[in-house]
Amino acid sequence: MPVSTAYAPSAGLRLTEHVSRLAEEHPPIQLGSVDFTVKRPREFEARFGHVLDYMARVELEVDRNVLELTTMLPDPPEVDQQFYAVWQPQEIQHGLILDRLQIELGREPADADLDSIGLKLRILGALAHISPFQDVCRMLYYLTGMATERSAVLAYNMLHSGTRDMGETAIAQSVIGQIKRQEPGHFVFYQLSARALWAELAAWQRWMVRFMRKASFAPVGANNPRQKADFGDVMSTLGITEEIDDFAGQISRVEKELLWARHRGLKVPDYVARAFHEAVDLARDRAHLPHLHR
């Protein structure tokens, strides 16, 4: 049985305390506690409907993420298992709440992919039975988690202001406001984990992480060209397209610090910037040439 590399005791303790605090301070949001009042449903749907759909799908796909995790990390540390137990019910509620809102607006529910695990992940999962390689997979998982949760924090902040600016106060406070408060704690978990594990990795493992991260980076929830174009549309509605390098920089700040410390002066890892620009290009092409994308 492979055993995950342990953290330094102080880092392990900090993580355990962080997870207990998340459980105490952030119980999953109950649907009954949410006020779905929309003053101008048609205008709101036209502007933010597709953003709600994208976010609902990504949140609901947490169930697939858990399946991927158990494939990729056959022997996760105990604190990670405690975290899944706190994090998964929170994310599911985020997805259910956003999905309910889009149904209230007359839209179809999100088309979430809950159980297909790609071949690449199955191969990683098979390799992860070799202990040192499992740590490489773990590191990739923490990097993805950091970028995903940071993206969620920034996107919910933007959606919150956009919703408030439209005068939809119930949605801003009760839906987006409640959800967005739970995301920073997820980011902190992945950040603490990534820093602690990176400190334990050997040079070859670090090399492997850099190599695989470059080859596999994708924006959150964007796993095929259609989803990438959808992500590009979300970026443009939220105003990220105008600040693309700043956004890419914020979601990859810790990753840059850990993986690319020797590349001084680097603002954003090139594979991150490229992926965001690609999403914007795909969305623009689809808007101009819709017949190619049916």
For residue 191, the surrounding DSSP H or E stretch is: helix 183-200
Residue number, 138 or 150, with CB nearest to Fe ion: 150
Residues 205 to 264 in contact with Fe ion, rule: CB under 5 A = none
Using the contact rule CB under 5 A, the part of the chain among 104-112, 177-185, 188-196, 270-278 near Fe ion is: 177-185
Residues 69 to 128 in contact with Fe ion, rule: CB under 5 A = 91, 94
Is there a contact between 74 and 125 (Cβ–Cβ < 8 Å)? Answer: yes
Least distance (Å) between residue 143 CB and Fe ion: 15
What's the angle, vertex CA 145, arms to CA 143 and CA 151, rounded to 5?
105
Please give the Cα distance from 232 to 170 (Å, whole number).
Answer: 27
Using the contact rule CB under 5 A, the part of the chain among 19-27, 77-85, 144-152, 155-163 near Fe ion is: 144-152
Residue number, 230 or 278, with CB nearest to Fe ion: 230
Using rule CB under 5 A, residue 186 touches Fe ion: yes
Using rule CB under 5 A, residue 138 touches Fe ion: no
Residue number, 94 or 286, with CB nearest to Fe ion: 94
- What's the DSSP call for residue 260? T
Least distance (Å) between residue 33 CB and Fe ion: 16
Least distance (Å) between residue 186 CB and Fe ion: 4
Least distance (Å) between residue 152 CB and Fe ion: 5
Least distance (Å) between residue 51 CB and Fe ion: 14
When binding is defined by CB under 5 A, the residue of 45, 61, 68, 183 that contacts Fe ion is 183
Least distance (Å) between residue 121 CB and Fe ion: 20
**Pattern 51-70, Fe ion, x by CB under 5 A:** --------x-----------
What are the structure tokens assigned to 189, written together?
A: 């978990």
Residue number, 189 or 276, with CB nearest to Fe ion: 189
Q: Which residues bind Fe ion (CB under 5 A)?
A: 59, 91, 94, 149, 183, 186
